[in-house]
Structure 1
């Protein structure tokens, strides 16, 4: 079975997407969270996945990452012609999917460097520690510090760096700017731009919609588990009525 071609009107139908969700439905227990969601992302793009609280954004990320809940009950997810919807979470990770959760999940009792080394134990390995410290010099300065004692912004950097320590193709970010000062948000946004330049595809879920849209190439807006907009990030930034209706900004 071949990966579905891009059916999105915003992209040419002759070009298959790098990451494609096609009529995906998923549940948390009895709750119908992701409802017939379809969208496509091309390699190296940053997609802002937006919507109000409870719209299904985090559930969509978890579905892509193939975590146990929510469970896909219908539809297909393809990554570079490979059927993610048939994979377990560890298989998706081996194929290059990495989710950075909102709570960051820094491992207590381990230093910054040990958190990174732990991510590299199992193949495929990604960026070297030297390359990671070049991108995140602050982590290099604190490599011997217990990871959980870092500031919120530094912990977010460590979470992203830990993902890069694996050989990833798609970086899924859940609320990366949560609780961070504007200057740190700008620093992380700059870093994500560098990561995009390395060819890594990124999906960012973020309540700070304006910050996410300024970084993103495209945007998908969810409302009660359904796609209500799929287009350029610039269009959302310029469409006041759309932002007010679905993002309350």
Structure 2
């Protein structure tokens, strides 16, 4: 009988080793006929923040939406796992009940409702996450505007509300899509402070952000996409220190 080769041993070990807290494997997803996610796979360990980076059109938001199990893009093949549970067979609402909290780029603030009503709506049924008191302690500006119609908030305040609304559910994996998009630098600093607090709490997070340097300073690790594929998976410091890598894939 032939001896098992080293690569075969490694493959066998990988097959039986416990999965990471979050894993996506060989994701292939489409918008209609447009092939937008082309075999993406990476892990996120519990309590870790991963920056999912790349140029415009690299597939970052599409990957995030695929992980959250939104209908678009359509997942044709691949697997998504969170805390040992398979998400890939599920709809978005089922993934949300299992702990996936997506903060979309457009924030999806509900018109006609106050700040507090937006938060209460997120907590309308189990599993519930942060209480209103806890939310207001971390987001004092929202406490000040709790009776204000939410769509009249500033862009930065709406972003705070979108993050707080996700936390109002029981979140195991927080997905942030462009949290700094369109915000003034002083407001970006406020959002960064809030995200640093979330990091200190140990909430597992994937952040998609065009402001790559800001995301890298927040993150533990970075995954870089190009044309729907993973081209780098390593520490955030590795990206910060590698000017050639940043120029080639992030244009910075």
TM range (shorter): over 0.9
- Corresponding residue of 1:10: none
**Alpha-carbon distance in 2 for matches of 1:197, 1:169:** 15
**Alpha-carbon distance in 2 for matches of 1:188, 1:17:** 28
Structure 2 residue matching 1:237: 3-state secondary structure: helix
**Alpha-carbon distance in 2 for matches of 1:226, 1:248:** 17
- Corresponding residue of 1:128: 131
**Alpha-carbon distance in 1 for matches of 2:200, 2:97:** 22
| 1:152-191 CA distance string (max 9 Å, x none) | 1100000000001101111111110011122221221121
- Corresponding residue of 2:238: 235
- Corresponding residue of 2:50: 47
**Alpha-carbon distance in 1 for matches of 2:38, 2:146:** 43
**Alpha-carbon distance in 1 for matches of 2:176, 2:130:** 18
Runs of 5+ in structure 2 lacking a partner?
A: 1-9, 11-15
**Alpha-carbon distance in 2 for matches of 1:233, 1:143:** 36
* TM-score, reference length from structure 1: 0.93
* TM-score, reference length from structure 2: 0.92
**Alpha-carbon distance in 1 for matches of 2:205, 2:70:** 18
Alignment of 1:180-191 (within 5 A): 180-191=183-194
**Alpha-carbon distance in 2 for matches of 1:207, 1:15:** 33
**Alpha-carbon distance in 2 for matches of 1:32, 1:122:** 36
**Alpha-carbon distance in 1 for matches of 2:48, 2:187:** 22
Residue 98 (structure 1) shift: 1.1
Alignment of 1:70-89 (within 5 A): 70-89=73-92
Structure 1 residue matching 2:88: 3-state secondary structure: helix
- Corresponding residue of 1:148: 151
Residue 212 (structure 1) shift: 0.5
Structure 1 residue matching 2:196: 3-state secondary structure: helix
> Which of the pair has more CA radius of gyration?
2
1:223 to 222, 226, 232: 226
- The answer to whether structure 1 residue 176 and structure 2 residue 179 are counterparts is yes
